[in-house]
Structure 1
Amino acid sequence: MTRPVTVGLDGSPESRAAAEWAAGEARLLGLPLKLVQVWEPVPDPMAQAPLLGTEVHQHWTERILREVAEGVRERHPGLDVSTEQLSGRPADVLAGAAEDAELLVLGSRGLSGVGGFVVGSVGLSVVAHAGRPVVLVRAGAQAADPHGTDQAAAQSTATPSRPVVLGLDTDGPDDRLIEFAFVAAARRGAALRVVHGWNPPPYYAYGLAVDIELQADLARSASARLTEILGPWRTKFPEVEVTEESRYGSPGSHLVEASREACLVVVGRRVRRSPVGARIGSVTHAVLHHSAAPVVVVPHD
């Protein structure tokens, strides 16, 4: 079964940017694009109001779906584009739609005046529960360009694309996450920038502040571990230029900083099967809210 690149639409500029990004990604992958619009049945007594009723709401959502599909087909001739309208609770429906998709792409509102996202409750819920990779895209040139180049750069073959950035935890590296990042970089002809942020164990905290040599030893150890993990992947993807960055401090802050020059940021979400339910780790949560580039969250064990 061929999995499509699926987009969740709500009519916002951000979801339209997500559809454009997804169309470019579908072409890179050689996959069809599926546009999905979810509408929640209007509760009584609102359903009885002539301007707020179910028929009006459904007609409006059908129009959004049709207009976006027409625009994508016009800008991407030859791309297989399908549409589907579903009903129910958006977070649940979209998480279900992700199971049959190669990627699920959603729009996310940018912070006014500052690079970053405002991730709504639907987006966070989908990211926390989806079993497939989920991409969040905000409106803007950097976000909407799947190759990571602006319009001027695209006109010059001498200008390299922005790198793909991978946030990697060396304590629990996962092959699915690493492979996704390498494949994404290879597909774009982009470099891969691997960022690892580290902090010393609590019992080192005071000594690190006063012992420069201790800090240097821990830094060398963290860097060596990162190199060890990436070694087999460099061999598997020799065409990908890899830059390793093992830096002291908050991993989330380092990734947000790196996102300003990235075409895509790849982070992981560890699947936790616990009574408290699914959750998003603190690093991924920070990146989702503040990244300047599209963010893909890859679930893994």
Structure 2
Amino acid sequence: MHAEEYPTTAAVPMASEEVQQRWADALLDEVAGTLRERHPGLEVTTLRRGGHPSAALALEGAEADLLVLGSRGLGAVAGFLIGSVGMATVAATEQPVVLVRAPASAEPAPDAGQPAGGGGVVVGVDIYESCVPVLTFAFEEAARRGAPLTAVHAWTMPSALLYPVLDPTLRKDIAEQVAVSLSDMLLPYRQKFPTVEVIEKPVLGSAAGQLTAAAQGADLVVVGRRVRRAPLGSHIGHVAHAVMHHASPPVAVVAHQGQ
């Protein structure tokens, strides 16, 4: 799909709307032809829409199982350069959205049908939130790929317990409680997806930093985004925002209602 908002003023000289439409159609034909050549068994269709790109993408994405957006790479710096269109689309879409970083020019393109990473699927888990869509998506992807799934939950010590000196026994007890809670949350999914190898990773530290670190070398990292319907509009949490910008593999953002 290609969406483009045409300007309503002539302040900046540019090609006519008809010329832009022909250019967009030619671009779509070229991309579709390349995809059909690489994936001969895949049905590929094209769609061109006018209007604001984020609104048009979110509207079409609402009828899809998955929406995939590209992202300009940062060269030697691992991560994404997320523009306003990408951010607005993610915030407005309740279907899963996958952001795929454009490879640096020196990187060889992966063979058709082959994952770009090799480290399986990584999912961020909040043991205090109901995040069924996030875990379901992550387990389904791991099962489909025949890949291991690393479930990461990052925790921090309560601030009231940090002063003056934290009892090492108390820290150990809290860590054990967190690990048990993570195992309990994952148990129903282990039973539903018995072929998926699950690596439980409760770690001390910030959620954004630990999840981004765990994602290095993965094929896919999955994060949740709580759906908030407020007068100020949609919202992307700080963890999802950080992972979208700094994780090097494709990032799946899965909306969920939370508690």
TM-score w.r.t. length of structure 1: 0.79
Q: 1:176 offset after TM fit, Å?
A: 1.3
Asked whether 1:274 is paired with 2:230, we answer: yes
Change in Cα spacing, 1:123 to 1:226, as seen in structure 2 (3 Å) is: same
1:181-200 aligned at under 5 Å gives the runs 181-200=138-157
Q: 1:76 offset after TM fit, Å?
A: 0.7
Change in Cα spacing, 1:168 to 1:198, as seen in structure 2 (3 Å) is: same
The one-letter amino acid of 1:166's match is: V
Q: 1:147 offset after TM fit, Å?
A: 4.9
The one-letter amino acid of 2:177's match is: S
Change in Cα spacing, 1:294 to 1:213, as seen in structure 2 (3 Å) is: same
State the match for 2:91 in structure 1. Answer: 128
Q: 1:233 offset after TM fit, Å?
A: 1.1
Asked whether 1:44 is paired with 2:1, we answer: no
CA distance in 1, matches of 2:87, 2:108: 22
**Could you list the per-position Cα deviations for residues 229-280 of structure 1 after superposition, in whole angstroms to 9, with x for gaps in the alignment?**
1111111111000000000111111111111121001111110122222100
State the match for 1:77 in structure 2. Answer: 40
CA distance in 1, matches of 2:237, 2:162: 23
Q: 1:211 offset after TM fit, Å?
A: 2.4
**Could you list the per-position Cα deviations for residues 40-89 of structure 1 after superposition, in whole angstroms to 9, with x for gaps in the alignment?**
12333258x5x522122222111111110111011110210000100000
Q: 1:149 offset after TM fit, Å?
A: 4.8
Change in Cα spacing, 1:147 to 1:229, as seen in structure 2 (3 Å) is: farther
The one-letter amino acid of 1:148's match is: P
**Could you list the per-position Cα deviations for residues 13-40 of structure 1 after superposition, in whole angstroms to 9, with x for gaps in the alignment?**
xxxxxxxxxxxxxxxxxxxxxxx00121
Q: 1:143 offset after TM fit, Å?
A: 9.3
CA distance in 2, matches of 1:74, 1:44: 40
CA distance in 2, matches of 1:99, 1:282: 23
Asked whether 1:53 is paired with 2:16, we answer: yes
**Could you list the per-position Cα deviations for residues 142-187 of structure 1 after superposition, in whole angstroms to 9, with x for gaps in the alignment?**
996775356xxxxxxxxxx421000010110311111111010000
Q: Which moved more, 1:61-70 or 1:132-141?
A: 132-141
Structure with higher RCO (Cα < 8 A, 6+ apart): 2
Change in Cα spacing, 1:237 to 1:107, as seen in structure 2 (3 Å) is: same
Q: 1:205 offset after TM fit, Å?
A: 2.9
State the match for 1:253 in structure 2. Answer: 209
Change in Cα spacing, 1:89 to 1:143, as seen in structure 2 (3 Å) is: farther
Percent identity between the two aligned chains: 45
Aligned residues: 253
CA distance in 2, matches of 1:261, 1:165: 10
Name stretches of at least 5 consecutive residues in structure 1 with no aligned partner. 1-35, 151-160
Name stretches of at least 5 consecutive residues in structure 2 with no aligned partner. none
The one-letter amino acid of 1:134's match is: V
User: Contact 1:133–1:296 (CA<8 Å) still a contact in 2?
Assistant: yes
SS of alignment partner, residue 280 of structure 1: coil
CA distance in 2, matches of 1:147, 1:211: 49
1:1-301 aligned at under 5 Å gives the runs 36-45=1-10, 49=13, 51-140=14-103, 147-149=114-116, 161-206=118-163, 210-301=166-257
The one-letter amino acid of 1:234's match is: R
CA distance in 1, matches of 2:191, 2:109: 30
CA distance in 2, matches of 1:144, 1:267: 24
User: Contact 2:110–2:116 (CA<8 Å) still a contact in 1?
Assistant: no
